[in-house]
Amino acid sequence: MRIRANWPEHLREPRPGYYIWVDPRDGKAHILGRMPLAQAIYEAQEANLIVEKGALTRSLADRVSRGTNTVADLIAKMPTQGLKKSTLNTRGYHDKAIINAIGHIECAALTTKHIADMLEAITAAGKMRTAKAVRDRMLAICTKGAALGWMTSNPATITEKPKIKVTRRRLTLDEFNAIFAKAPEVADWLQNAMLLALVSGQDRSTIGRWERSFNRDGVANVQRSKTSVRIEIPLELRMNAVNMSLNDVIARCRSTGVVSKYLIHHIRNQGRAVRGSHVKLGSISNAFADARTLAGIIGDDAPTFHEIRSLCKRLYIEQGGIDTKALLGHMTDAMADLYANNRGLAPIKVRISGA
């Protein structure tokens, strides 16, 4: 943190071009944010006058004298109890972006333009999903601000919602088989992970944490970590496209000769991975991507491991007789339809029933 000899007292620069002023009375850091050095020096001098003489001036000085709360102060008030670590990490990433951009602005002075300019900068960098997530976060933050009486309205509500264009294409069965054939060259557990995902329809997180104890009395009881939805799947569930039942896949996962509580586990020691331990979620995605490349399926829109979930739904719909909405744990028809959408991969079939 840079402290210059010719700077006003209590002015700090944690990183280049980003300034804070530390109140000597209580040690609290007030965020100035990114601004020209001359402006930061001026505001620090004004704040120092408050401390030394009690004079009322402007901006930061006004904040010091009246204790006005900033967006950064409001973010610190956001609830965290009961949230999962992954959720907290994601929100922390978005909160940091918000604080860097508008954290120094007083809540009462926050306008729609402040938020819109921040979102525009994010979208200009090509980060559409981040822009959407930051907007959603700002909606929640400003709602909290209104509830605390720090704001009189929610300026985020009328900002334009970033439009996300889906670039990832769907996975076909032929592509699945091609990647499956290359999987042993990448990881000895990858084929099992792919089959378990395809036949069960579960997401990567559920696949990676699927324990042997989940399967008993002819059913598999799993819980999706993202939504906490519990799903009971009959082990007799069979996918005709690969001629395997869920029970067949589970038996294959358990036949590695390694004692493990997890169906998808490391079969040998490798680096920090211990034989029998679960496979990290990032490793599943990376291994699938490597096998996909070996299979010659490349491009910015190449399907990811998560696309196995959509392939599962589409294959079961074609097969018939399976409640795919329940299987995938979807609570709404809209989400169920999203996974059923082949995104132009195949034409819409016109079926004619017999009279």
Residue 37: which pLDDT band, with cuts at 50, 70 and 90?
A: confident
Integer angstrom CA distances of residue 56 from 65, 172, 284: 7, 68, 59
Q: Largest Cα–Cα distance of the chain, in whole Å? A: 93
Say which DSSP state 170 is in. Answer: P
What is the pLDDT, as a whole number, of residue 84?
80
What is the pLDDT, as a whole number, of residue 211?
94
Q: Is the pLDDT of residue 343 over 60?
A: no
Neighbours of 353 (CB within 10 A): 4
Question: 54 pairs with which residues across the strands?
Answer: none
pLDDT tens digits, one per residue of 268-318: 988 888 999 999 999 999 999 999 999 999 887 899 999 999 999 999 999
What is the pLDDT, as a whole number, of residue 56?
42
Higher pLDDT, 333 or 119: 119
pTM for the predicted model, two decimal places: 0.57
pLDDT tens digits, one per residue of 255-268: 999 999 999 999 99
Phi, psi of 108 (to 5 degrees): -65, -20
Give CA–CA dist 74/201, Å, rounded: 40
Q: Which two tokens stand for residue 81?
A: 């109890």
Residue 335: which pLDDT band, with cuts at 50, 70 and 90?
A: low
What is the pLDDT, as a whole number, of residue 228?
77
What is the pLDDT, as a whole number, of residue 135?
95
Q: What is the mean pLDDT of the chain?
A: 85
Say which DSSP state 22 is in. Answer: E
Give CA–CA dist 75/98, Å, rounded: 9
Give CA–CA dist 156/89, Å, rounded: 22
Q: Is the pLDDT of residue 189 over 80?
A: yes
Among 57-71, 153-167, 220-234, 321-335, the range scoring the smallest mean pLDDT is 57-71
